C-alpha cells in the first residue's frame, strides 16, 4: 500500500474555492479500528455548512466528509467483524470523526456494516449519514408504527427521500412536502400524499399526523406543530427556539432536536432494507474527488433531489 493519499483539505473557512486537493500521510488503524480504501464518499449539507462555519469542528485545517463506501485494507488489534477485502459502507463518527473525502479513512469497526451486494459503491456511499438520520428519527426516536401518519419535509432531499422509503417500509401513511417538479419522484418512492410547499401552506393542508420529520428549520417547526395530534412528535434536525418547545408542551406534543450517531445496528438494518429492495438512494450527481468544490456549489443551491457523491480512481 502507498504511504500517502489524496485528500480534499481546507486551511480556512469560506466558499467552495477554499477546498483544495492535497497529499497527506495515509493513516494506520488503531485498536478496534479498520483502515478502509474509499471507493466513494457522500456529500451532505453538513459538509458545506462546516466548510463555511465552525459548527462543531472548530477552525480548520480539516478534511470534510462522513459518508464512506469502500474496501477494508487493514484491521487494528481486536477487530473481529471485518477482514481485509470486505466491502463495507458506513458513517465516520459524527461530528468529530470527519474526513471521508480522502482515499483512505480509519474509524471504529462499528461505524461500518457490510455493503449490500445489490448496490455499487456510489449508491452505498449515498446512504450512511442520510439514511441513519432517517432511521434513527423514525425508528429509534419516533418508534413509528404501521398505520401512523408521518409528515416529511423536503421529501425529495437527501434525508427526506430515504425517510419516505423507511416510513413506507414500516407501514406508515406518508405525506411529503416538495416542489411540484419532484412530486412524481417522491410518489414513486412510496409517498401517499404530496404537498407543493411553494403553492400551499402545509400547516393548513395537513392535520392529525403522528410524527413530523423536519429537515428544513426556520419557521417549519413552529408551523408543523399545527399539523400534529396531541401525543404526537416533532423531530427536527435543526435547532428551534424555546417558544416552539413551549408551544409543543402546551399542545401535548413531544418536540426534539436530533443529531445522527454512528450505528452498526442501524446500518445493518438499512442494508437489509436495501437488499430487500425497500430502500434505494437517488443519485443526483457524481463528481471525482478533485471536483469536490463543484459538488459543494451544486449542493448549496438547495434544490438537489437525492444525493451527491464523490468518486475515487478505483473500480466501482
CATH number at residue 215: 3.40.50.720
- Show which of 217, 241, 257 is a domain's final residue: 257
**Which structural domain range is residue 247 located in?**
130-257
Residue 185 lies in a domain: yes
Residue 197 lies in a domain: yes
Q: State the CATH number of the domain containing residue 81.
A: 3.90.180.10
Same domain, 77 and 169: no
Same domain, 242 and 167: yes
The grid cell for 7 is 485528500
pLDDT of residue 54: 84
- Going by C-beta distance under 8 Å and a sequence separation of 6 or more, which residues neighbour residue 53? 13
Pairing of strands 283-288, 307-311: parallel
Cα 210 to Cα 233: distance, rounded to the nearest angstrom: 6
Same domain, 159 and 58: no
Same domain, 305 and 232: no
- Going by C-beta distance under 8 Å and a sequence separation of 6 or more, which residues neighbour residue 208? 149, 227, 229
Residue ranges, the chain, pLDDT below 70: 1, 314-316
Same domain, 122 and 142: no
pLDDT of residue 302: 72
Same domain, 28 and 114: yes
Same domain, 144 and 123: no
Same domain, 118 and 172: no
Same domain, 143 and 229: yes
- Which class for 243: exposed (0-12), middle (13-18), buried (19 or more C-beta within 10 A)? exposed
Provide the domain count of the chain. 2
Residue 264 lies in a domain: no
pLDDT of residue 314: 66
Residue 220 lies in a domain: yes
pLDDT of residue 313: 78
For residue range 113-160, list pLDDT tens digits in order.
999 999 999 999 999 999 999 999 999 999 999 999 999 999 999 999
Question: How many other CB atoms sit within 10 Å of the CB of residue 264?
Answer: 15
pLDDT of residue 65: 98
pLDDT of residue 5: 97
Residues forming beta bridges with residue 96, ordered by sequence position: none
Same domain, 113 and 170: no
Cα 182 to Cα 191: distance, rounded to the nearest angstrom: 12
Residue 225 lies in a domain: yes
Cα 60 to Cα 198: distance, rounded to the nearest angstrom: 37
Residue 204 lies in a domain: yes
Cα 110 to Cα 127: distance, rounded to the nearest angstrom: 16
Q: Read off the pTM.
A: 0.96
pLDDT of residue 26: 97
Same domain, 161 and 234: yes
Same domain, 151 and 220: yes
Residue 174 lies in a domain: yes
Residue 24 lies in a domain: yes
Amino acid at each position: 500500500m502507498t504511504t500517502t493519499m489524496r485528500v480534499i483539505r481546507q486551511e480556512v473557512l469560506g466558499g467552495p474555492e477554499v477546498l483544495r486537493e492535497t497529499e497527506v500521510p495515509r493513516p494506520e488503524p488503531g485498536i478496534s479500528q479498520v483502515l478502509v480504501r474509499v471507493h466513494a464518499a457522500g456529500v451532505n449539507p453538513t459538509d458545506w455548512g462546516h466548510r463555511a462555519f465552525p459548527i462543531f469542528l472548530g477552525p480548520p485545517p480539516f478534511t470534510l466528509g462522513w459518508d464512506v463506501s469502500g474496501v477494508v485494507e487493514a484491521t487494528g488489534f481486536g477487530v473481529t467483524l471485518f477482514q481485509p477485502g470486505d466491502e463495507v459502507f458506513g458513517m465516520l463518527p459524527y461530528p468529530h470523526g470527519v474526513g471521508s473525502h480522502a482515499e483512505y479513512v480509519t474509524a471504529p469497526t462499528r461505524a461500518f456494516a457490510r455493503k449490500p451486494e445489490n448496490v455499487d459503491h456510489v449508491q452505498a456511499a449515498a446512504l450512511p449519514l442520510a439514511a441513519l438520520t432517517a432511521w434513527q428519527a423514525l425508528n429509534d426516536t419516533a418508534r413509528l408504527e404501521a398505520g401512523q401518519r408521518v409528515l416529511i419535509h423536503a421529501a425529495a432531499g437527501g434525508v427526506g427521500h430515504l425517510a419516505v422509503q423507511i416510513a413506507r417500509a414500516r407501514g406508515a401513511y406518508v405525506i411529503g412536502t416538495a416542489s411540484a417538479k419532484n412530486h412524481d419522484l417522491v410518489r414513486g418512492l412510496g409517498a401517499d400524499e404530496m404537498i407543493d410547499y411553494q403553492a400551499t401552506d402545509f400547516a393548513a393542508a395537513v392535520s392529525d399526523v403522528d410524527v413530523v420529520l423536519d429537515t428544513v428549520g426556520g419557521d417549519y417547526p413552529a408551523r408543523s406543530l399545527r399539523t400534529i395530534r396531541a401525543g404526537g412528535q416533532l423531530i427536527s434536525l435543526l435547532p428551534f427556539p424555546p417558544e416552539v418547545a413551549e408551544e409543543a408542551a402546551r399542545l401535548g406534543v413531544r418536540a426534539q432536536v436530533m443529531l445522527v450517531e454512528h450505528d452498526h445496528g442501524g446500518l445493518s438494518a438499512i442494508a437489509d432494507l436495501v437488499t430487500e429492495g425497500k430502500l434505494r438512494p437517488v443519485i443526483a450527481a457524481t463528481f471525482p474527488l478533485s471536483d469536490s468544490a463543484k459538488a459543494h456549489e451544486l449542493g448549496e443551491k438547495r434544490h438537489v433531489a437525492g444525493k451527491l457523491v464523490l468518486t475515487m480512481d478505483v473500480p466501482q
